[in-house]
Amino acid sequence: MKINRPDWDSYFMDIARIVSSRSTCIRRNVGALIVKDKRILSTGYNGAPINLKHCIDTGCMRERLKIASGERHELCRGLHAEQNAIIQAAYHGVSINGADIYSTHLPCSICMKMIINAGIAKVLYADGYPDELSHEFILESAIVVQKIDFEKKTALDKTVQDSEFPAWPGQVAVRSVNQHVKVKNFKLRSKKA
């Protein structure tokens, strides 16, 4: 009898998706999972700090102010999933240096800075996020970024271009599906006045 087991990336991303179901954000439900040596170290989802009212109770400040996704992250009462996962690890004294983070979405620029400084080695994500500064940090850092694409998962030999990453003209990241990708430094084209 053959048992159909998910590979590790699918397993951890599925858990990140379940974690995202705890989100209290009105705009986007995000879950994150920090993993090292195939062991879960910490989880996080986006929502308000402990003992503060959630956006599902107060309404979304960003919606009221008509702030676009990927902009003005400081104007939100919630923490992002990646931030919460890193904070939970620190709170419980768990080292995450050299670990991987699975996130349902590509981390924003604030989360990416925290991920880099926490010593996380690899970011695995399922859905893109429109934050150009985050993409610049990825290109400048030594961090490995991998998009988990479940729909194309069976075509392991096929090379695909992710239309969401990077998201600015003149930059192309080509990768093999489910293969580790080291994004190299590219020079950004300056905008003409």
Strand runs labelled E in the chain? 31-36, 39-45, 100-105, 122-127, 144-147, 159-161, 174-176
Q: How far apart are CA 193 and CA 179, in angstroms?
A: 39
- State both tokens at 97: 């240096």
Catalytic residue among 63, 71, 74, 82: 82
The torsion angle over the Cα atoms of residues 103, 86, 108 and 31, rounded to 10 degrees, is: 30
132 is catalytic: no
3-state secondary structure of 144: strand
CA 89 to chain centroid, in Å, comes to 17
Tell me the catalytic residues: 82
